Chains A and B, each alone.
Chain A
């Protein structure tokens, strides 16, 4: 699953730590999501999308092998 969390974060000019605190996870989790090493749960995906005020599909996108 691809995502544009890093881009959205840059647009909003916030750090990984700030995003992590806003959605209730650790900074390492945000880092792993951005790097594509961790696929977040449905709840976390919704929280991130709500934080950025965008629909889920605008931030997270399924890949062919998903």
Chain B
């Protein structure tokens, strides 16, 4: 059986890195409750009445979506010199970040209460991506340095 590769081309990594800076800055502003202008637009939402007409804050929605797209582009793009060893490092980094995020989540569940827990879960959505990107890139950097 030939293994399928679901990774994006390398160019997406560069695009994701450029997208990351403004969207991460925007999400940090949202996280720390910095006053940003509100742009409310009619939106289709899912709730008690499935698919009801609601309202969305355009800046929050775009900020969070943009951050997710940029993190996906960085995490799920091929390296310039992608080969089987990169694939193995990728898999190890996936497992490592899975465990790391699970421990952080467990600590959050145990020790963060009330509304703070809501903020924590919002931030935790992106934690897995961030930890994976850091772990994978540090490992690749160490291997490249070793090979020089």
Q: Which residue on B lies nearest to A44, using beta carbons?
A: B84
User: A31-66, CB under 8 A of B: which get 1 and which 0?
Assistant: 110010110110110000000000000000000000
> Which of B81, B84, B146 is packed against the most chain A CB atoms within 10 Å?
B84
A24 to B147, CA, bound (A): 17
Known pairs A25-B83, A28-B81; A38 contacts B88 (CB<8 A): yes
Mostly, the B contact residues are: helix
In the complex, which residues of chain B have a beta carbon less than 8 angstroms from the beta carbon of A3? none
| B144 at the binding interface (Cβ < 8 Å) | yes
A24 to B81, CA, bound (A): 10
Residue pair B146, A26 in contact (C-beta under 8 Å)? no
A66 to B22, CA, bound (A): 49
In the complex, which residues of chain B have a beta carbon less than 8 angstroms from the beta carbon of A29? 83-85
How close is B114's CB to chain A, nearest CB, in angstroms?
47
The range of chain B's interface size is 10 to 19
Known pairs A25-B83, A26-B81; A31 contacts B88 (CB<8 A): no
In the complex, which residues of chain B have a beta carbon less than 8 angstroms from the beta carbon of A43? 84
In the complex, which residues of chain A have a beta carbon less than 8 angstroms from the beta carbon of B88? 38
Interface residue from B85, B143, B144, B146 paired with A25 (Cβ < 8 Å): B85
Q: Which residue on A lies nearest to B83, using beta carbons?
A: A25
Q: List 27 A-B contacts (CB under 8 A).
A: A16-B147, A24-B83, A25-B83, A25-B84, A25-B85, A26-B81, A26-B85, A27-B147, A28-B81, A28-B85, A28-B143, A28-B144, A28-B146, A28-B147, A29-B83, A29-B85, A31-B146, A31-B147, A32-B85, A32-B143, A32-B146, A32-B147, A35-B146, A37-B146, A38-B88, A40-B84, A43-B84
Interface contacts beyond A26-B85, A41-B84: sample of 12 additional A-B pairs, CB < 8 Å, sorted by A: A24-B83, A25-B85, A26-B81, A27-B81, A28-B85, A29-B85, A31-B147, A32-B85, A35-B146, A38-B88, A40-B84, A43-B84
Seen from chain B, the residues whose Cβ lies within 8 Å of a Cβ on chain A are: 81, 83-86, 88, 143-144, 146-147
